[in-house]
A and B are shown apart, each in its own frame.
Chain A
Amino acid sequence: MMRFTQFVVDFLRAGFTGGILYWCWMLFLAFFIMLWGYGEYVQIANGMIVTNLNDQVSWGFYLANFVFMVGVAAAAVTVVFPAYVYKHKELHRIVILGEMLAIAAVVMCLLFVIAHMGRPDRLWHILPVIGIFNWPHAMLTWDVIVLSGYLLLNIIGGFYYLYKKYAGTEVNKTFYLTIVYIAIVWALSIHTVTAFLINTMPARPMWFHSVMPIKFITTAFAAGPSLIIIVFLLVRRFTPMKIADEAFHLLSQIVVWCLGIALFLTMSEIVTELYPATEHSLGLQYLMFGHNGLNSLVPYFWTALTLMVVSFVLLLIPRLRKNLTLLPFICAAAFIGIWIEKGMGLMLPGVIPTPIGEFAEYTPSHIELMVVGGVWAIGFFLLTFMLKGAVAVLLGEVSYQPRAGKQPVSSEQGEATI
């Protein structure tokens, strides 16, 4: 127990140690986290009327970001799967970092859901035993199960490994690998269920198609590794952690193929909807071309599509894909493209027009922007902290030393990172 307490203390200390650049970054994020606090306060005090949501467009920016982040969380599997199933050595060394990313992403998902709820004070109503859990009927309860399960699996798996490493004892392989393999399958489930959450409603024809789950997974496995590539490049740049080029090459290959399949599915959806052009395709038509002058989504759609197509084409060229200076920029383009496409580009045309055919345009309010920006900041804050802690433990900079009294961690350990 003593050892575990010391692990927590040392991990926290390692996570919050850094140079001037580190603290500037954390302060920068803290500013947005404060805005989040303010936004949430205003929203809880006044109700959701401070958002620009209304009866016509009742799902908006919050859920758009939620859906996207579930994908990013699931995409940790693109590191875990090759590492354990294909015994990819280079990825195996950094698999824990992928799990840290998944934890941060799921935390963001939960915060987006809370922001979306009209009565977050009644969150306990959905908890089994003390509340009512409408399982298996309500798809949302499935989502609660898979998301919280995924969070637990990653926390247990990731921190168990780190703790063993810290304590210098052997990892119990049976236990650890069981967790890892369950987590791999589980990762697919979180995004599949999130797709089922919205595509099982015939009242919303834009979403009512069976391509949704596979499209969710392919876009997730393009956007997720894109972010992972950027994060890992930063880790390599700013910490002594060594990450081999082969790791990036494998990840960028995953990005390019998933992006290609995603584009193919987008094309299939467009042809299927627009060729017969029934009333059920009005949402997609509104997204792509606008409707009688209501065209606020049109630039988003075409920007997203351009970003996705361009990054796909660039990544297809091996010379560019393997250029690690250029790669993060292409990845950023793919990431932003998918964020638009799967966020606002998916959520809004699903609810516009309404089931009785009313078109109402929606742009997020200042409060919504503050809350969403703040949740992203919380995610990056958490990720930075956990990555620093994990890198310190993995490199053996922080490890268990039985201490007589309360001695601070020696200063050179702290300085080793950044």
Chain B
Amino acid sequence: MPNQEKSKEKDSKLTTRRDFLRGAGNYTVASLSGAAMLLSNPKPAKANVTWAEHFQKNYRLMTEEEKQEAIERLETRYSEEYGQKVTVDGTPSIDGVLFGYALNIQKCIGCRRCVKACVAENNQSRGDEQQIEWIRVLRMEKGNFSAEDRDQHGYPESFGVQVGGNAYKPAGVVLEGQHYYEPDQVPEKDAFYFPMQCMQCEKPPCVKVCPVRTTYRDPDGIVVVDYNWCIGCRMCIGACPYWARRFNWGEPNLPKEELNPHTHYLGNRPRMKGVVEKCTYCVQRTRKGRWTACVEVCPVGARKFGNLLDPNSEIRKVLAKKKVFRLRADLNTYPKFFYFMD
């Protein structure tokens, strides 16, 4: 306690409101945690930092210094919590870059290595209680028709007139997709695969409906979330036509030894309960010129990523030469995630 009191003394030269809040925060939490120490086993330093986090602004509106402060605060907290040096990066979007993604559905074998790599890279919650994955791989049944179906009664069967038949096996319709499949081996003979993740829409419905602008599109086209500003209303989950957003229903479970310590403020830093998260095109990697984890791990090279503004990039070549489509184009969300076939 005496130490805490001293730090309070230091803080007494209050100049701004924020300083005041931080000072008051330290003081209150110090005394509270002192009392709590007797009752349980708290983490006073963590509590201190979390308290200051409560009063920070939306990341996008912070000045450079404030961003730096917020980042340092997080680094201290994470490092202590996970018992290792954790870095939080704040690299802004790079000029002249608009990220785009293309996925070759002809090549995808449904192995879901991308799903696993994404979880490991992006520090999602894992375990039975709460398992969060940003990529879904849908298993699509191949069309399969039989003469039997052709001759069965269809609808509406009245007055001896048959309007429809029964030979309508699902064949590659998204709504018939299935993302829980446990085959012995992939690819399976009777299926093809259709991975989905955040499409980083140019006109993202999730951004439009967010009441506090905690989720926004950065200039490089990535739709990001400030986890510290999210109020957990889940409007964005309702508005997303691609079911790309995930919610931390409980405190995320991220074992210390599994943490990826290289994090980005808007990307894979450990989250808290009650906030939304989603794919960020591995912002912590891609803004430093690296591939996303899913592109890197894909064993068949089905995943392509690059700068849409660079005419020589691989992604632009895919767009120029392949047959490309976007998912649910009717909704005018203009995804920057393209599907293609050879």
Whether A associates with B in a native complex is yes
| CB closest chain-B residue, reference A46 | B250
Q: Is the CB of A138 within 8 A of B231?
A: no
Q: Is the CB of A58 within 8 A of B250?
A: no
Q: Is the CB of A126 within 8 A of B212?
A: yes
A347 to B283, CA, bound (A): 35
B211, B238, B247: the one contacting A118 at CB < 8 Å is B247
Mask for A6-34, Cβ within 8 A of B = 1, else 0?
Answer: 00000000000000000000000000000
Q: Indicate the member of A119, A144, A353, A358 with the most B CB atoms within 10 Å.
A: A119
Interface membership of A48, Cβ < 8 A: yes
User: Hey, which chain A residues are within 8 Å of B275, CB to CB?
Assistant: 118-119
Within A105-162, the residues touching B (CB, 8 Å) are 116-123, 125-126, 131-134, 137-141, 144
A204 to B231, CA, bound (A): 22
| CB closest chain-B residue, reference A51 | B249
Q: How far is the CB of A83 from chain B (nearest CB, A)?
A: 35
Mask for A58-84, Cβ within 8 A of B = 1, else 0?
Answer: 110000000000000000000000000
User: Hey, which chain A residues are within 8 Å of B153, CB to CB?
Assistant: none
Mask for B2-28, Cβ within 8 A of A = 1, else 0?
Answer: 000000000000000000000000000
Q: Is the CB of B273 within 8 A of A47?
A: yes
A354 to B243, CA, bound (A): 7
A125 to B129, CA, bound (A): 29
Q: How far is the CB of B106 from chain A (nearest CB, A)?
A: 20
| CB closest chain-B residue, reference A113 | B233
| Of B32-40, B172-180, B295-303, B304-312, the one with at least 4 CB within 8 A of chain A | B172-180
Query: Do A132 and B58 contact each other (CB < 8 Å), given the known contacts A201-B238, A356-B177?
Result: yes
| CB closest chain-A residue, reference B136 | A356
Q: How far is the CB of B225 from chain A (nearest CB, A)?
A: 12
A132 to B226, CA, bound (A): 13
| Of B143-151, B202-210, B334-342, the one with at least 4 CB within 8 A of chain A | B202-210
Q: Is the CB of A58 within 8 A of B234?
A: yes
User: Hey, which chain B residues are within 8 Å of A125, CB to CB?
Assistant: 58, 212, 214, 229, 231
Q: Is the CB of B58 within 8 A of A355?
A: no
Interface membership of A170, Cβ < 8 A: no
A134 to B331, CA, bound (A): 22
Q: How far is the CB of A218 from chain B (nearest CB, A)?
A: 24
User: Hey, which chain A residues are within 8 Å of B232, CB to CB?
Assistant: 48, 117-119, 122
User: Hey, which chain A residues are within 8 Å of B246, CB to CB?
Assistant: 55
A48 to B231, CA, bound (A): 13
Q: Is the CB of A126 within 8 A of B249?
A: no
| CB closest chain-B residue, reference A44 | B274
User: Hey, which chain A residues are within 8 Å of B176, CB to CB?
Assistant: 357
Query: Do A201 and B209 contact each other (CB < 8 Å), given the known contacts A47-B250, A357-B174?
Result: yes
Q: How far is the CB of B99 from chain A (nearest CB, A)?
A: 23
A120, A201, A357: the one contacting B205 at CB < 8 Å is A201
Q: Is the CB of A138 within 8 A of B208?
A: yes
Q: Is the CB of A122 within 8 A of B231?
A: yes
Query: Do A119 and B196 contact each other (CB < 8 Å), given the known contacts A132-B213, A138-B209, A355-B242?
Result: no
| CB closest chain-A residue, reference B208 | A137
Query: Do A49 and B208 contact each other (CB < 8 Å), given the known contacts A116-B233, A358-B179?
Result: no
Q: Is the CB of B175 within 8 A of A279?
A: yes
Interface membership of B224, Cβ < 8 A: no
Interface membership of A203, Cβ < 8 A: yes
Q: Is the CB of B208 within 8 A of A48?
A: no
Interface membership of A198, Cβ < 8 A: yes
Interface membership of A54, Cβ < 8 A: yes
Interface membership of A351, Cβ < 8 A: yes
Within B252-281, the residues touching A (CB, 8 Å) are 273-276
Query: Do A201 and B239 contact each other (CB < 8 Å), given the known contacts A58-B247, A119-B274?
Result: yes
User: Hey, which chain A residues are within 8 Å of B240, CB to CB?
Assistant: 203, 355
A86 to B39, CA, bound (A): 65
Interface membership of B109, Cβ < 8 A: no
Within B56-83, the residues touching A (CB, 8 Å) are 58, 61
User: Hey, which chain B residues are within 8 Å of A120, CB to CB?
Assistant: 231
Q: Indicate the member of A47, A59, A204 with the most B CB atoms within 10 Å.
A: A47
Q: Is the CB of A134 within 8 A of B212?
A: yes
User: Hey, which chain B residues are within 8 Å of A121, CB to CB?
Assistant: 54
Interface membership of B186, Cβ < 8 A: no
User: Hey, which chain B residues are within 8 Å of A132, CB to CB?
Assistant: 58, 61, 212-213, 229
Interface membership of A202, Cβ < 8 A: yes
Q: Is the CB of B213 within 8 A of A117?
A: no
User: Hey, which chain B residues are within 8 Å of A357, CB to CB?
Assistant: 174-177
A139 to B205, CA, bound (A): 12
Within B185-216, the residues touching A (CB, 8 Å) are 196, 205, 208-214
Q: Is the CB of A47 within 8 A of B212?
A: no
Q: Is the CB of B175 within 8 A of A134?
A: no
Within A160-203, the residues touching B (CB, 8 Å) are 198, 200-203
Q: Indicate the member of A53, A133, A198, A355 with the most B CB atoms within 10 Å.
A: A355
Q: Is the CB of A356 within 8 A of B174?
A: yes
| CB closest chain-A residue, reference B173 | A279
Q: How far is the CB of B335 from chain A (nearest CB, A)?
A: 13
Q: Is the CB of B237 within 8 A of A118?
A: no
A125 to B247, CA, bound (A): 19
A204 to B237, CA, bound (A): 11
Interface membership of B138, Cβ < 8 A: yes
Q: Is the CB of B234 within 8 A of A118?
A: yes
A357 to B139, CA, bound (A): 12
A120 to B212, CA, bound (A): 13
A-B contact pairs, 16 of them (CB 8 A): A49-B249, A116-B233, A117-B231, A118-B233, A118-B234, A120-B231, A121-B54, A126-B212, A126-B231, A131-B212, A138-B235, A140-B209, A202-B205, A203-B331, A204-B238, A279-B175
| Chain B residues close to A by CB (< 8 Å) | 54, 58, 61, 129-130, 136, 138, 173-177, 179, 196, 205, 208-214, 229-235, 237-243, 245-251, 273-276, 331
Q: Top 10 nearest A-B pairs by Cβ distance? A: A118-B232, A49-B250, A118-B274, A357-B175, A47-B273, A203-B241, A140-B211, A49-B249, A47-B250, A119-B232
In addition to A122-B54, A126-B211, A200-B209, 4 A-B residue pairs with Cβ atoms within 8 Å of each other are A118-B273, A122-B229, A122-B231, A356-B242
